[in-house]
Structure 1
Amino acid sequence: MRPKARSKHFCLGTVSAELSLRLQPFVEWSLYAPQTLWSLRRNKLLQLLCYLGYQDILTMAGTHKVGQTLYPLFNQSAAKELSITDICQQLAMSESSLRRKLAAEASSVQDIKDQVRLGHGLHLLQTTEHAVSYIAEQCGYQSQSRFASRFKTRFGLTPLALKKLNWRFRAK
């Protein structure tokens, strides 16, 4: 059974025949698709409009996620501990706003910090001959065992196992 089409018009100005032809599948799709997929389709629609010459539409592009702004902060200081106060000052927002926005993105400061630190650890393990204890320290972990535990949870193998794999590939 087909849902009833909406009768409201949300267009300001004129719509060219080409644009109308290209927009119709997007509109029909939205009648059937689950809302969880709408943001993906919205981005495709914005790309299409930009391609057709409506560059001003880019101002409607999705807002920058707060979590994405934290990655460079932690990358700049992988071993340095940034306090929540420092982060909030750099982002010019309150702690409660930061936590609320990250929760809406299904993330947290600690999740992002761990991703950056473990990503840095993965890079060091694959590109250097340093001991795991040194790499753990460089990534800001107080102990090698904490680093190894989190690394295994994230990547499915221990840092030492990864180093052994790298040695095998280098030996060949």
Structure 2
Amino acid sequence: MKIYVGNLSYSVTDEDLIDAFSDFGDVTSAKITMDPETGESKGFGFVEMPVVSEGRDAVQVLNESPLCGRLIRVNEARGSGSGAGAGKGARGLTGMSGENTNGGGKGRGAGARNSRGPGGGNNGRSRRPRRGNKQGGQRANKPAGSGSAASAQAPAGAAGKE
């Protein structure tokens, strides 16, 4: 069973996690997630325990308990696989019946949102500005004097013909 451990003090080590979880059973591995650029802890990690019932006991008892001066968050890890796509949220995951749970179809589904939370901010559209638009909404291929007021008037030759 893979277990997520969050809200860790930046001083917590892999060995500290092993010590905390080994009270409940065998610990296969314990790993603090580190920032690759700075080499410092990101404040969370994962513990693997081979016996599910022991892992669930550890989650129940250790969640909201103090470790190195902070109350830690302990939950069963959501992405249970290790490989391409593991830990990537809902993208590409399938439900129990095998259907895609992200809205289906190619790319983003009808109900899918981007990673900016509810509403998404830009409804899944690219954040790159449109090309060819100038400041004020005028199109690049229009002459400078032709705005919406000019196009509402009658065509140039129509007023004098009767």
Q: TM-score interval w.r.t. the shorter chain? A: under 0.3
Say which structure, 1 or 2, has more relative contact order (CA 8 Å, 6+ apart): 2
Q: Which has the higher helix share?
A: 1
Q: Which has the higher strand share?
A: 2
Q: TM-score, normalised by structure 2?
A: 0.28
